[in-house]
Structure 1
Amino acid sequence: MTEDGHFAPERLELADLVCLTGAETARYAGVAIPNERDVAIVDLLRKARRTGGPGQLLDLIRPEVEAETLRTFALRMASLAVRRADPELLRMGLLAVSVSTLRAVDRHDDVSVLAPLWRTASLLRLDPAAEFAAAAAEFPAAAPLLSGWLDRPASLRELTVLGFHESADADGFRYAEDWAELSREFDEEFAHRSLLRRVTLPLLRRRPRH
């Protein structure tokens, strides 16, 4: 409760991030979609939306742990959205990778996962550019990242250029990740940090953990 007698708005706490950590996260990318972790992360992102906004996650997550899980979740939601023809799952994936990339700005795999999300929007017969613009409006901190993606030539937004292809498992449609497919152009682009020069990401400082 605040000093004037009003209840303080609910915010995320470290305890809410349990779904982004744990020994099982190392195998998360390859397990069946969906699983309990997927459901828990959806709940986490919904809570972030209705409380202080997704930006509060930036104060809580670590690049090498929670951010990596969010990146994996985004790729999984790109696949699940196609299976279920569910635009909301696509939007959850966009939000997750936007947060992840802002906490892991030196990793080109975080940027590359935008390609499956872009492709999913097309497969759902949505306007990919409109979906990315809406995601930027919801989470302005990620607007430079998403705008940078929209500015890329169409040929540099293709799945194979970014190291992915469409596949399937026992449960249905699934994007497969294969770094052998990653184009030399994208590797060189990121090696020279040209993407990061075009996308001026804000400097973010994580709150110390106690």
Structure 2
Amino acid sequence: MTGNERCPSGRIELADLVCLTGESSIHYTDQTIPHERDLAIVELLGKARRGGGLEQLLDLIRPEVEAETLRAFGFRMAALAVRRTDPDLLRLGLLAVALASLRSMDRRDDLGALAPLWRTASLLRLDPSHEFTAAAAELPAAAEFLLGWVDRTPDLQDLVEMGFRESADEDGFRYVRDATVRRRILEEDYARRPRIIRLLSARQRRRWLRENGFD
């Protein structure tokens, strides 16, 4: 599932981004793994890599649409890489989250998406620090984000502490969100913010609580 043979190189067109739009990224996150949308995004990233178009792709990414889908894709690839023992899927997922971080409006969610990828590198008997450093070299604009994670203490890289746990469904291994932990993280982060920022982020907070069954 590398996409290298399926998609010809060339400039990224708006039509190529169809796989990043459409249904909610939340629904996509929970879809069966793998999904046809996964393959389409693999092809898109492969095309961008071969044609030197990562910066071009970045120019077309919007924070609340394509960036969220790329983050969800990274989360899904962290699981699929474990199922298939495939480091290339891990690297594609890491690249997707790195791209998303450059357009995202929520650094907390970006950092959270790195936790499953970090864990997957360990499960594949790879050096997580090396994988993240290599991704930073491929996408220098995201180097501060990726290397900042590498420099974190182990407790701040921990899968459970970041609100996830390992699980499985009928198709195999996958990561799932622990809504209780995620709520604690959200509330702690919300409480630390200045009052004006809390007011501005209140709508997003209410949406998350509603979507996760806390309302």
What is the rounded CA distance, in whole Å, between the counterparts of 1:187 and 1:98 in structure 2?
25
Root-mean-square deviation (CA, aligned residues, Å) is 2.1
Match status 1:73 vs 2:85: no
Number of residue-to-residue matches in the alignment = 185
Alpha-carbon distance change, 24 to 181 in structure 1, aligned in 2, over 3 angstroms: closer
- Corresponding position of 1:164: 164
Aligned-pair CA distance for 1:173: 0.3
- Corresponding position of 1:126: 126
- Corresponding position of 1:52: 52
Superposed, which structure 2 residues align to 1:17-32 within 5 Å? 17-23=17-23, 25-32=25-32
Query: Does the CA contact (< 8 Å) of 1:108 and 1:190 recur in 2?
Result: no
> TM-score, length-normalised on structure 1?
0.82
- Corresponding position of 1:137: 137
What is the rounded CA distance, in whole Å, between the counterparts of 1:78 and 1:124 in structure 2?
10
Aligned-pair CA distance for 1:24: 6.1
Q: Secondary structure at the match of 1:173?
A: strand
What is the rounded CA distance, in whole Å, between the counterparts of 1:183 and 1:125 in structure 2?
31
Query: Does the CA contact (< 8 Å) of 1:82 and 1:123 recur in 2?
Result: yes
Report the residue type matching 1:160 in the other structure: V
Query: Does the CA contact (< 8 Å) of 1:112 and 1:163 recur in 2?
Result: yes
Percent identity between the two aligned chains: 64
Report the residue type matching 2:108 in the other structure: H
- Corresponding position of 1:93: 93
Higher RCO structure (Cα 8 Å, ≥6 apart): 1
Aligned-pair CA distance for 1:25: 4.6
What is the rounded CA distance, in whole Å, between the counterparts of 1:189 and 1:119 in structure 2?
23
Report the residue type matching 1:171 in the other structure: D
Aligned-pair CA distance for 1:23: 3.0
- Corresponding position of 2:204: none
Name stretches of at least 5 consecutive residues in structure 1 with no aligned partner: 1-8, 194-210
Alpha-carbon distance change, 52 to 190 in structure 1, aligned in 2, over 3 angstroms: farther
Q: Which runs of 4+ in 1 moved over 4 A?
A: 183-193
Report the residue type matching 1:145 in the other structure: F
Report the residue type matching 1:126 in the other structure: L
Query: Does the CA contact (< 8 Å) of 1:161 and 1:186 recur in 2?
Result: no
Q: After superposition, give the CA deviation of every residue in 1:102-150 in whole Å (9 maximum; x if it has no partner).
A: 1014341121010000000000000000000000011101100011001
